Chain A
């Protein structure tokens, strides 16, 4: 492997991607697709007021996918030297020869390519311009606010501040050329509270955006982290029982996220999802509408899941997966769409190597009309879940069993914290038994959901 010191300082990455595709065609590929990624990251962790770690770096990599007829293979490398690029191309072409003819394999058709035009507000230069000292100060203030909130906050996992910027380029042999830059910044605090018996609890809270100008105040976030931590102190088990379960927005998001996974074409064509063959059927209550939207710009900032095109060069779009309880669309890329005799929903996602999979853009459950307080007020005795743990979700059968913690609800109010319990049911039933949806939809990341109440789940404890 040669050193890449001889490369020009500013390598034109779009030209590199174009060259890689041309070289692959020359080496015998009938089609080729190159992706080039370049990114910078910064992270600072402050613990108990002192800087504990500082990390700052940049990296880049190139991935190539080739087709020889309907055979396909891919290669990737972090080395951009000419010698390495030659090996990348030759390697992919050689590998493709040993794969099988798959009638569904191939790049999208030329007329499908496209990208959203106009500024999607994905990149803000201020994220790179902010001096490291200011970033560290935000992390320090956030942790300090959490520590000062209550005397029971006695330790800390720290306050942190992270930034990341990335540049992605996609070029293929059918004429698609696209690129976009994105920026991210965010901070959080993870305070630890101790009760009179020495029992410890940790929680955290955070703020993130594509621009430093939209970050929340470090003091507000630190205090919220402290409140969320204190709320868990003195948690106990409850008896095994069936009771209504109210999911906080953070957990409702994960429950509803399983709808996305169950609707992914890869699982559908294999019959590996409880949604297989259910298109057009009632899969959830009439109050449930679930959307994946790759085009969203909120308050002048591009959503965390917004991109101008997907990983195969198709324009992103807004796809309604479930409308008033009816399964309207699967989540498809070019391959899974062909397998099912349908059209891609512009949901292709990929890493550097391997065939594209699918991924969510801005994914959410549409809000209802009740406030979270009104939802709780209707529960005489039940569980409010603020955290789930484990790997007990089976998308083939819908069986759901997860560790949980949160608060017990008595007479419509949060009464005391609970932990070391599990909640179980089947997602097929759970989606039909969503009896209340809150009006509290807030996007803190690419996916979001309001508070929901689900009937009929089994709670296991002592």
Chain B
């Protein structure tokens, strides 16, 4: 369900004292030495972090960051400058610095902005988490602390945190773009240590999204996350060595979708393909996965951590098919790369903050349902690994090699899930790995809302998901034989 969008730009005009006239002047200054395009990215972020640790409220902090990034694009060249001082003098100076990238006669500016009004929003803003009472947030993590401790006497340490932010952005560009958004983001985390006579283990859990506090009152309660963290830690106390070598691997639904993010997602970002530095360059229209595999990137899912009403260049976000029945269909693109490549702009231009230049990035990346029953998938495996939760992943875009590190996994022996194993890293080759997908479940799930993606030093919130999936072979990095 979507909700009517409030007037985001009022904040910038009324609270920050900006005017369209000043923005036009800055863009004029930015294009004073030529250039094809310029944009202004205004951002204001307020954030809160609360932490309960050893059952005490040990940390509470709040931060405010306000600034503007100015970009000038000339052919393949980008000039960038930013300022945390929004006075007209500093904005114009930043525009002149960014303009140094171009060398030519001043560019004639368009007359007037084309205001983009988002008719509805994918997430609530009035009464978003950032405006809620601190006390209510504290109560959430105090409940998590208690629930984790109550779960089992072997839980010896509990740390629970609540982080949220409200990010207001406004983009004004020389192509007439004038668009704004307000993006809430909240996350609850639980970390526990379990200890018995012989071993110690950790467990983590968490979730959230672009949501209000009531999100945490349903089945995604603090108790849910706390019990989940405690359950994994207790489970790990009895874990045996993970196996080593090539074997059949079954990935559970939800967060294991990080496989897609690493194996194909990054390799399909347009910048790497324009420069032909991606292992996927030139593979559009070719078979890169089994015919059972369809992967999309979808920024339009209400309340999801990776969702955005518009990207950080002011373009509406969309659902983009990356792989359809195993065939590579498209890339994730932004203004610069879509123009240079003559390909559609998928509204994927994102950035960490006004300190950063936007790049093509993922939103929520997931595999569509297949027809197999999850239990049949397990039954089909003679000896293999069933991995249901992961820490994180990494990819080398150029040679396609990717890893993702399992934090909760089990052995499958003769079609049955048996003993839990210690964490292990799985490794594969992006353009090849998904060709070994032989079964796809009908139980698509998205992750709990904790993903953060790093690229070239910039972090952005993302989501991943998939149904239960079987890969006929993958290398598992355990220590057992």
A: residues with CB less than 8 A from B are 1-5, 47, 50-61, 72-79, 84, 87, 91-92, 95-96, 98-102, 105, 132, 155, 157, 192, 199-202, 232, 235, 237, 240, 270-272, 276, 352-355, 389-392, 394, 396-397, 399, 401-403, 405, 419-426, 458-462
Contact = CB atoms under 8 A, between A and B. Distances in A.
Contacts of A396: 193, 200-202
Interface string B57-85: 11111111111000000001111111111
A200 B277 contact: yes
Interface string B208-249: 000000000000000000000000000010000010111000
B62 A95 contact: yes
Interface string B129-145: 00000110010000000
9 contacts: A155-B275, A272-B202, A394-B422, A401-B478, A403-B401, A419-B401, A420-B428, A421-B475, A426-B479
B63 A353 contact: yes
A271 B200 contact: yes
Given A200-B399, A391-B394, A99 B200 contact: no
Given A3-B86, A99-B59, A396-B200, A391 B392 contact: yes
Nearest to B64: A77
Contacts of B246: 240, 460-462
A337 B132 CA distance: 36
A125 to B, nearest CB: 21
A390 B200 contact: no
Nearest to B134: A98
Contact of B425 (A200, A235, A401): A401
Nearest to A198: B282
A157 B455 CA distance: 14
B355 interface: yes
Contact of B477 (A92, A105, A460): A460
Contact of A84 (B64, B404, B479): B64
Contacts of A421: 427, 475, 477
B97 interface: yes
Given A200-B399, A272-B202, A54 B59 contact: no
Given A59-B84, A78-B66, A102-B56, A54 B79 contact: yes
B64 A76 contact: yes
B292 interface: no
Nearest to A235: B399
B101 A54 contact: yes
A353 B51 CA distance: 13
Nearest to A95: B60
A91 to B, nearest CB: 5
A391 B406 CA distance: 9
Interface string B242-282: 10111000000000000000000000000000011101000
B82 A420 contact: no
B67 A78 contact: yes
Contacts of B426: 422
A101 B393 CA distance: 39
A270 B193 contact: yes
A73 B17 CA distance: 30
Contacts of A392: 391, 403, 405, 423-425, 477
Given A397-B422, A401-B479, A461 B401 contact: no
B273 to A, nearest CB: 12
Contacts of B193: 270-272, 396
B477 A424 contact: yes
A425 B479 contact: yes
Nearest to A201: B399
B5 to A, nearest CB: 22
A459 B425 CA distance: 12
Contacts of B195: 271
A355 B479 CA distance: 38
B423 A53 contact: no
Contacts of A101: 56
Contact of B81 (A55, A61, A75): A55
